[in-house]
Chain A
Amino acid sequence: MSLFKVFDVAGGAMNAQSVRMNVTASNLANAGSVSGDPEKVYRARQPVFSSFNESMAKQTGVAGVRLDGVVESAAPLLQIYQPDNPEADVDGNVYATNVNTVEEMVNMMSASRSYKNNVEMINTTKDLLLQTLSLGR
């Protein structure tokens, strides 16, 4: 019964979106962090999604979502002159993280909307299946 596959597909997508939400939370939590060593500064992380079973999708019409991994942003760090900061290096500079707060807020909204869409999809499909079960009663 092909309706059952919807649960797998939507479940996978919800998992991917919740990872995205976690990564966003981690980015926002570290948005204010600075360090004297550019190597040790927190860098913004982004999850990478890819389509699962893309080659099979032509036959079955089903393509789930898979999380390929989490990559660190290569955006430049902000160098701030703060000689009285205990973290400052010999030149009196600290490096701020490259997390973009506005971008992360938008990411969070987008992830939560996508998650809700998948929940709705599961609810609708569940209703359809339940109605099918009571057919002819």
Chain B
Amino acid sequence: MKGKGSPFKVREADGVVIIEAGDYLNSISGEKIEEEVDCYLKKGFRHFLINFEKTKILNSIGISFLIGIMERLRSEGATLNFSNLSKTQKEIFEITGLAKYVNIFPTEGDAILRIRKGFDSGAGN
């Protein structure tokens, strides 16, 4: 968990960095998530999952941060996965063309299972 009042949470499970996005992905939380991703990259993590279950507002500001994170992870050979997207959020990723560059899963459990399979087949870290 980040500091007091932080709108998002970060935890690890089975070698995956799970970011629970807050209710609104704005420039403040976006920057903090970018910093967290950087820290975990430096620690050697290569699989990231953003869980949007609690996210009520996702607008162009949030998209701009997600693109920054995608590009950062791509340059490091890391993967980005999304889970628990609402129908509208899924549409936003589709219409902005970002859906092509991330793995989208219905639930966090599905995502972790799939990422674990990747590990087992030798694709993970």
A interacts with B = no
Residues of B within 8 A of A (CB): none
